[in-house]
Amino acid sequence: MYRTQLAKQVSTKRILLKQFSTTSQLSSWNDIPLAPPDKILGITEAFKEDKNTKKINLGVGAYRDNQGKPIIFPSVKQAETKLLQTETEKEYTPINGSKTFQNIVKNFIFNNSNKDANGKQLIEDGRIVTAQTISGTGSLRVIADFLNRFYSSKKILVPQPTWANHVAVFADAGLTPEYYAYYDKSKNDLDYANLKKSLAEQPEGSIVLLHACCHNPTGMDLTPEQQDEVLQIVQDKKFFPLVDMAYQGFGSGIPYEDIGFIRKLTALANSNKIPSFALCQSFAKNMGLYGERTGSISIITSSGEASKAVESQLKKLIRPMYSSPPIHGSKIVETIFQDEALLQSWLSDLNQVVGRLNTIRQTLYDRLDKTNYNWDHLLKQKGMFVYTGLSSEQVIRLRNEFSVYATEDGRFSISGINDNNVEYLANAINEVIKK
C-alpha cells in the first residue's frame, strides 16, 4: 500500500520533469500544464475569502497568540534592536554561511550547550560539518542533492504520514522515496509493530528519514525505548539516518530536553556504531524566524579528514544553487546566543509559547464529546499539531458548515485555536462526529 501510493506521486512528477526537460520540447508557454495548488496555502486562500466572522484557520503551521495574531518573540525584537545599533555591514556571508552561526548550531544541538560529552568529542574530532541553509526546507534539499551525488543508494524511506513537502523535495532532488509504516489512523496511535517490520524488510544501506521530535503531522513521537529499537534496526541494516528537526523545543518547551534522540545518535556516532548521519534543523519555529529562512544542515562524518572533502562538496553544491544564505536571521541567532540575558529571555519566550499551546490543547480536549469518540490521543501528541483522526468527509463538513479550515488528513495547527474560538471549534467537531 505504502509503495503504491508513493509510486504514483513520484511517477507523475518524473513524467512532468521528462516532458519539459529540454527547451526544444516546449513549443509554447501554453503547453505548460497548470500545477495543482499547494494544499496548505490553498486552505489559507480559501480562509481569506470566507465571510464568516467565526471562521478558523487551522492549516498553516505558524504560531499565533491567544488573539489569533502572529508575534515576534520579545527576545528577537531585543536582538534586532541591538543589531540596529551595532551592525556595520551587509556583506555576503561565505557559501556555507557564517562560521559563528555554524559553531553556535554545533554547540547548541550536538554538545547540548556543553552538556553532551559525545557531541563535544565529535566537534573536537572535526567530524561535524555544518552549513547554514535557507531554513529547514533548504537544508533538506541540500542534503537530498548531496546524497544523490555521493551516497550509494537513491532510496529514501519516509514515515507514513510525513510532512507533505518531504516527498516532493526528495523526488525533485533525484532520490526515490518509499513509505515505511508509522501511524495507524484507525487506532490514532503509532503503528509501531509494522514500523519495525517495514524498516527491517528494506534493503541494506537505504537512507531513512527520522523526525527528531514533535513528528509532523501526527505529533506522536517514539518513546526512548522505541528509539533504541529503531536505532538498532538502523545499525543492523546499515541505514543512513537523515534527521529532520523543525520543532526543537515544542515538545517540552525546553530545547535541551527535546533532543534525546540526537544524543543517542551522537553516542552511536562517537562509538562508530552509526558512523555517519545528517541533521536538518531550523530556527523558523522555535525563534519565530519564519520569513528569515534560518536553518542548517549538519553532516556527521567518519573522520576529520572525511569532513574536509564533505565540506568542499557542500560548498560546490550550494554555490550554483543560491550562492550563499541570507544573513539577517543568522545574525539574530548569533546575537541571542552571544548574550546570556537574551538567551535566557528567548528560552522563556519559547516556554511561554509552548505552554499556551499545551493549555489550549487540554482545553479543546476537555470540551470534546467523548460519548462516541475517544480523544485521548490528543493529549499524547506533542508540538504544534493535533492529528485528530477525523475523516476527510468530516473535515470538509467542518469547512463547509462551520468555516473551520484544516487539511483533509485531519491535521490541526493548534496555534490557530485560542480562548475566543475553542468553544465554537469544539461544538463544530462534536456536530460532525455525531453518529
Task: Please give the Cα distance from 123 to 146 (Å, whole number).
Answer: 21
DSSP-derived letter for residue 33 is P
Cβ–Cβ under 8 Å, residues 356 and 66: yes
Catalytic residue among 120, 145, 163, 349: 163
Q: Is residue 55 flagged as an active site residue?
A: no
Cβ-defined contacts of 405-409 (< 8 Å, 24+): 405/43, 405/44, 405/46, 405/47, 405/50, 405/55, 405/56, 405/57, 405/58, 405/59, 406/43, 406/58, 406/59, 407/39, 407/40, 407/43, 407/59, 407/217, 408/39, 409/161, 409/217
Cβ count near 169 (within 10 Å): 20
- In the block, cell 473551520 appears at 404
DSSP-derived letter for residue 265 is H
Catalytic residue among 55, 106, 120, 285: 285
The x, y and z cell numbers of residue 401, run together, are 458548515
Crossing angle of helices 422-432 and 340-367, in 10° steps, is: 40
Q: Is residue 236 flagged as an active site residue?
A: no
Catalytic residue among 221, 244, 258, 409: 244
Task: Please give the Cα distance from 184 to 350 (Å, whole number).
Answer: 31
Q: Is residue 244 flagged as an active site residue?
A: yes
Task: Please give the Cα distance from 158 to 160 (Å, whole number).
Answer: 7
Residues 6+ apart with CB under 8 A from 307: 126, 127, 128, 129, 299, 301
Catalytic residue set: 163, 244, 285
